[in-house]
Chain A
Amino acid sequence: MDDQEFNQLLEKYAEVVVKVGLNLRNDQHLSIRGNVDDAPFIRKVAETAYKAGARYVDVLWDDENIKRTRLQHADPETLTTLPDWLYNRYEEYSKRGDAELAILSSNPDLYNGIDSDRIAITRKTLYQKIVEPLRKYNNYANWCVVSTAAPAWAQKVFPNLPEKEAQTKLWDAIFRACRIYTPDPVKAWEEHIQKLDKYKNYLNAKRFASLRYKAPGTDLTIGLPEDHHWGGAQETFKNGITGTVNIPTEEVFTMPHKNKVDGLVTATLPLNNQGVLMEEFSIRFENGRAVNFSAKKGDADLRKLIETDENAGRLGEVALVPNSSPISQSGILFYNTLFDENASCHLALGSAYKSSMQGGVDMTDEEFAARGGNKSLIHVDFMIGSAKMDIDGIQADGTREPLMRNGEWAFSV
């Protein structure tokens, strides 16, 4: 791909993100959070957004290198410090219903060699001072998460290639997964979204009481709350806009009942969480809680993660993705949740989305919890699907129905 071709693809990608992902409205503000490495793409998004009539595009530029420097060299007692403006910025935008784009291209090894206590302190600080207080604005406005082929990430995915080639190859994989090579990517997305909606509607009509997972290393029953709601690619926000929160997306998902998960599950892909990598791990659940777990790599980090708070060891999401998804078929291990979760059936430790329960977005935390919704400082997806996974849906009367066989949909819509 030469520079001109690349430039055109980048423009198409920006268009998919602004039109399908955010569905940005004329005169809306757009906030973008990305890394300095993401500049070529962010510039295209800003341009596309202004063309679409954005009133103001505010880019909050991160620099991963500076984050690492701080964790390495700052006095540990200062790690709970965050500037006030950070929360104020998000609150201003959330309250007004501004569109928000987050770019997720972190270096999976960013925090390699850094003391896990230091990482835990900063993670907790971020959750307590930013994520948690902002939760009240969840679903206020259209948001979207996407990725760019940042150099450090590309190098991790293709370790045997020189940096430049690795980046080109990762861009190619991103463009493929995001349907950018199709003649009309926006239209291709509309068709894909419709298809996911059909699966979602089918599952919603069934009202399953639980799901039963079977695969090597996995024998798990997941109870679903009575009012659970399956979501697909799209979500409608309180500002009235319907958007696609993840580009790419291949999943249909809902929430487990926080107290009704039992059995053993084994991860099928490594988990990268904020610069820390956990590999080959299993978790045993009893009455919804992780009671036993171990990882070949990153065992201490997994423990820290699960012990973040009371409910970090319970599940908040259950998602179905066929093994034939284009991302899975690429055969690439992305070390990036946005891609890996769309290659595989997955679960999430921590908070459930209120939108995964009928009427959930209008419930108080207490009502939501009483109906089985989990609440935690974290929400971390991990992959469990494979070509060897079977999943059954079980209805309240015990009737069983195959949902997936050998990793593929077992019903037609």
Chain B
Amino acid sequence: MNTAEFQKSLEKYADVIVKVGINLRKGQNLTISASITDYPLVRAITKSAYASGAKLVTVFYGDDEVFHTRMKMSSHKNLTEVPSWIVPAYTSIVKNGDAYIGITSDNPDLLADVDPEAIAIYRKTMGTKMRKLTQAVMRDAINWCVISYPAEDWAKKVFPKTSAKQAQEKLWEAIFKTCRVDQRDPVAAWEKHIKDLSLRSAYLNKKRYAALHYKAPGTDLTVGLPSQHKWVAARSKSQTGIDFTANLPTEEVFTMPHKDKVDGFVAASRPLVIAGTTVEDFTLTFEKGRVVKVTAKKHEETLRKLIETDEGAARLGEVALVPNSSPISQSGILFYNTLFDENASSHIALGAAYPFTMKDGNKLSQGDFQKRGGNHSIIHTDFMIGSKDMDIDGILVNGKREPLMRKGEWAFNA
């Protein structure tokens, strides 16, 4: 790709993000949070946003290296320090009904040499301080979108055998392809894809399954669903009335498990990056919704700390179906980034459930939400379990079983 071609693709990517992702309204403010390495994309999005009539674009840049220095050198006490201005700065986004874009480009190994206890303290501090904001976003209070940028360190992790420059180019290519930026009319391509996914979620919503049963090597898991569960795909509607797409790319159809009705064991099919540490080859065993056993070949302690974050961190908050033939899966790339890896594979999430995956969930109090089976936690961490060897059945209230996936592919027509 030459410079002019690349610039054009970058602009198209920015347009998809502004038009399909957040679907920015004229006169809206936009906040972008990104790493300083992501500036070429941040600048392209800013231009596209002003062209769409944005009032003010605010960018919160962070830096992996400065963050790493802090995590490495600060005392545990100092890691609980959060400047007072930050929380109101973010909550004002929700209060004003602004749009929000989060760019992920994290180096998966950034914190590999940092004490897991320090990471846990930091995660818990930020999770608690930002709880209101996270909850509001999870209720779709505003139009928001998470996207990615192929920063050098991340690209090198994905393509370790090539030069940094080549790795970045290859990761760009993968991003442009999976985000349909390589198609002639990316926005139209997205409209069609979103429609296809909506047909799947509509089919599943009609069925009212009581539970799902997963079978694969290392996995035999039954996931009960709340009676009011709601399957969701790609397109959401914000409480401010804007249709938006919260993840680019997205290939999943998902809902929430009942927080007390998960039993059996499950093996992860891809590594999981937790705040700069890559956990590999792990299994979880559940009883009545709770994790009772954890094993991992690498960084088990980090996974354990995550599960111990709070009461809800040991329970599930999301169950998502993705066919193994999804373009991301077919790329054969292991991205070490949830945004991509979760769209390559069926997955489940530890921690909070999205209120919008329960009927009227956005209007329920926290207590009522939990009573109906919705899980609550300051974390929400997806991990991948799907593969070409996975079969999934839907179990109806009367106990009848129907195949949903066979060998990792959809087993029904929507």
Interface residues of A (CB under 8 A from B): 29, 36, 39, 42-43, 46-47, 50-51, 55-59, 61, 63, 65-66, 69-70, 73-75, 78, 81, 83-85, 88-89, 92-93
Contacts and interface: CB of A to CB of B under 8 A. Distances in A.
Contacts of A39: 36, 63, 65
Interface stretch (B39-47, B175-183, B206-214, B281-289): B39-47
A83 B51 contact: no
Interface in B42-73: 42-43, 46-47, 50-51, 53-59, 61-63, 65-66, 69-70, 73
B142 to A, nearest CB: 15
A58 B56 contact: no
From A29, A36, A39, A75, name the one whose CB has the most chain B CB atoms within 10 angstroms.
Answer: A36
Contacts of B53: 75
Interface stretch (B82-90, B145-153, B233-241, B322-330): B82-90
B128 interface: no
A15 B50 CA distance: 41
Given A59-B66, A73-B50, A65 B56 contact: no
A92 B73 CA distance: 24
B7 interface: no
A92 B85 CA distance: 7
B36 A61 contact: yes
B89 to A, nearest CB: 3
Contacts of B47: 69, 73
A65 B46 CA distance: 10
A61 B58 CA distance: 11
B62 to A, nearest CB: 8
Contact of B43 (A56, A66, A74, A89): A66
A56 B56 contact: no
Given A50-B69, A66-B42, A85-B85, 18 more contacts: A39-B36, A39-B63, A46-B69, A47-B73, A50-B74, A51-B73, A55-B81, A56-B74, A56-B78, A61-B59, A63-B43, A63-B59, A63-B61, A66-B59, A70-B56, A81-B55, A84-B89, A85-B92
Interface string B203-245: 0000000000000000000000000000000000000000000
A57 B70 contact: yes
Given A58-B83, A61-B61, A88-B85, A75 B55 contact: yes
Contacts of B61: 36, 61, 63
Contact of A66 (B57, B66, B74, B86): B57
Contact of A92 (B51, B57, B69, B84): B84
B50 A56 contact: no
A78 B53 CA distance: 11
A74 B39 contact: no
B83 to A, nearest CB: 6
A78 B66 contact: no
User: Which of B39, B53, B85 gathers the greatest number of chain A CB atoms within 10 Å?
Assistant: B85
Across the A-B interface, the 4 shortest Cβ-Cβ residue pairs? A85-B89, A61-B61, A73-B50, A89-B85
Contacts of B46: 66, 69-70
A50 B70 contact: yes
A65 B55 contact: no
A51 B88 CA distance: 30
Contacts of B86: 85
B319 to A, nearest CB: 37
B251 to A, nearest CB: 32
25 contacts: A36-B39, A46-B69, A50-B70, A50-B74, A56-B78, A56-B83, A57-B70, A59-B63, A59-B66, A61-B61, A63-B39, A66-B43, A66-B59, A70-B56, A73-B50, A74-B54, A78-B55, A81-B55, A81-B56, A83-B58, A84-B92, A85-B89, A88-B88, A88-B89, A92-B83
Nearest to B73: A50
A55 B74 CA distance: 7
A85 B74 CA distance: 25
B63 A61 contact: yes
B interface residue count range (under 10 / 10 to 19 / 20 to 34 / 35 or more): 20 to 34
A95 to B, nearest CB: 10
Given A73-B47, A92-B83, A63 B69 contact: no
Contact of B88 (A70, A73, A85): A85
B31 to A, nearest CB: 8
B228 to A, nearest CB: 38
Contacts of B83: 29, 56, 58, 89, 92-93
Contact of B66 (A57, A73, A83, A92): A57
B102 to A, nearest CB: 16
A88 B57 CA distance: 18
Contacts of A42: 63, 66
A74 B89 contact: no
B92 A83 contact: yes
A47 B56 CA distance: 33
Nearest to A42: B66
A84 B31 CA distance: 13
A43 B66 contact: yes
A158 to B, nearest CB: 24
Nearest to B90: A85
A81 B282 CA distance: 50
Nearest to B45: A66
A56 B81 contact: yes
Nearest to A55: B78
Interface in B128-179: none
Interface in B85-102: 85-86, 88-89, 92
Best-buried of A43, A66, A69, A81 by chain B (most CB within 10 Å): A66
Contacts of B54: 74
Interface string B96-124: 00000000000000000000000000000
A55 B66 CA distance: 14
A28 B223 CA distance: 50
A85 B84 CA distance: 10
Contacts of A57: 66, 70
B56 A78 contact: yes
A29 B74 CA distance: 12
A208 B24 CA distance: 62
A14 to B, nearest CB: 12
A90 to B, nearest CB: 9
B42 to A, nearest CB: 7
A92 B86 CA distance: 11
A232 B352 CA distance: 58
Nearest to B43: A65
A270 B73 CA distance: 44
B36 A73 contact: no
Contacts of A50: 69-70, 73-74
A43 B65 contact: yes
Nearest to A38: B36
A85 B91 CA distance: 11
A43 B69 contact: yes
A334 to B, nearest CB: 25
A30 B65 CA distance: 17
A47 B63 CA distance: 13
Contacts of B78: 55-56
Contacts of B63: 39, 42-43, 59, 61
